[in-house]
Amino acid sequence: MTKVSMAHGAGGRSMQRLLRERVLPHLLTDKGEVPLSALDDSGVIDDIVMTTDSHTVKPLFFPGGDIGSLSVAGTVNDISVMGATPIALSLAMVIEEGMEADDLEKIARSIGRTANKAGVPIITGDTKVVERGAVDKLILNTSAFGKRSPALDANLAIVAKHRTIHSRWLEDRNVADGDVIIVSGTLGDHGVAILSARKGYGFDADVVSDIAPLNGMIVRALAVGGIAAMKDPTRGGLANTLNEFSEKSKVGIEIEEEKIPIRQAVRSACNLLGIDPLEIGNEGKAVMAVVPGKADDVLAALRATPEGREAAIIGKAMKSVRGVVMRTRVGGRRIVEAPIADPVPRIC
């Protein structure tokens, strides 16, 4: 009999196969404007956007954040990248018996601080305590719903000047030939911060997680207009995000290695560990596909925000390309595949 393996949880191809073969066929996957079968950041029905995330990060505390800030920011971002305004969060905690109440309180404080920063209240919750060994200290689930962002219609109207659009939301399937690919900042910080907090890795990178709620930054970018698709490159990193764009939109994407913003400390840590920085998760970044005429303005709007200071144009969608390809520093071309398994498990 098949058993679920760690690779099935990595957000890449193995997981997609497990879901498509064993889980999705039994669910009502075609309901809603953005249904479950889209496997997008959020679902949409009745003009309400909804998302959910369970967090099992290890360790619970790490440079730049903890499981609490991670949960809230990740969930706020999943709503925001659809082009919606997050309205409320839920918080469900599964706590291992014996957890220090002080640690729980520290995490609660971080949850509150992040929710406050995002301006999104937690309006409902659930608490379970399980016997020792039944979970690894703490699992959090945050879910959220959001409503259509006031700027979204005007934003999409600009996209519609260039081509026919098939969705009222910033879905992964909206990317088209010529769209400019923008990342809102440096890549790999979160994954490396988690690794540096784990014992036994023999390096002490000066890297902190990029955890941040991005709803404020995204509103500014939407106000400029011309954004066709947006996604936060969490599990599977930029490599996974661009492959989702490419597969769902049926268009190739070419990026340039030298334009991708990566901190030197992240690059060094990845070299040391043999990890591809494009494949590790981020928790405070967005990747956008923008119509060519608006790319510079969107970039400028992003750079004017604290979260988007290091935003960069890294490439474009091209129908002449198959899949996702990177032009390397030395002038070669490398195929960027969606990671099959997670180079760094349990980073979120």
Closest CA to 69 of 101, 123, 124, 107: 107
Query: How does strand 122-130 pair with strand 84-96?
Result: parallel
Q: What amino acid occupies position 222?
A: L
Give the interface segment with its own copies, choosing from 4-12, 283-291, 297-305, 316-324 (CB under 8 A). Answer: 4-12
Report 175-234 residues binding its own copies (CB under 8 A).
none
201: its two tokens? 């890795």
Measured CA to CA, the distance from residue 49 to residue 33 in angstroms comes to: 10
CB of 300 to its own copies, least distance (A): 32
Measured CA to CA, the distance from residue 325 to residue 314 in angstroms comes to: 12
Tell me which of 143, 149, 167, 282 binds its own copies, using CB under 8 A.
143
Give the interface segment with its own copies, choosing from 143-151, 258-266, 296-304, 329-337 (CB under 8 A). Answer: 143-151
Size of the site for its own copies (CB under 8 A): 86
Site string for its own copies, 329-348 (x = CB under 8 A): ----------------xx--
Our CB check for its own copies shows the closer of 17 and 334 to be 17
CB of 41 to its own copies, least distance (A): 8
Tell me which of 13, 61, 141, 248 binds its own copies, using CB under 8 A.
141
Give the interface segment with its own copies, choosing from 119-127, 170-178, 206-214, 279-287 (CB under 8 A). Answer: 119-127
Our CB check for its own copies shows the closer of 24 and 208 to be 24
Our CB check for its own copies shows the closer of 97 and 204 to be 97
CB of 26 to its own copies, least distance (A): 4
Measured CA to CA, the distance from residue 207 to residue 269 in angstroms comes to: 9
Give the three-class secondary structure for 252. Answer: strand
Alpha-carbon dihedral 47, 118, 279, 268, rounded to 10 degrees = 170
Measured CA to CA, the distance from residue 47 to residue 38 in angstroms comes to: 16
Strands of 138-148's sheet in order across: 43-45, 48-55, 138-148, 84-96, 122-130
Torsions phi, psi of 13, nearest 5?
-65, -40
Our CB check for its own copies shows the closer of 96 and 257 to be 96
Site string for its own copies, 5-44 (x = CB under 8 A): xxxxxx----x--xx--xxxxxxxx-xx-xxx-----xxx
Report 42-101 residues binding its own copies (CB under 8 A).
42-46, 48, 50-56, 58, 87-88, 90-101
Give the interface segment with its own copies, choosing from 124-132, 163-171, 174-182, 207-215 (CB under 8 A). Answer: 124-132
Closest CA to 228 of 190, 181, 281: 181
Name the DSSP class of 240. H
Query: Kind and range of the H or E element at 271?
Result: helix 264-273
CB of 30 to its own copies, least distance (A): 8
DSSP 309-323: TT-EEEEEEETTS-S
Our CB check for its own copies shows the closer of 91 and 312 to be 91
Closest CA to 183 of 223, 241, 264, 268: 241
Per CB under 8 A, does 304 bind its own copies? Answer: no
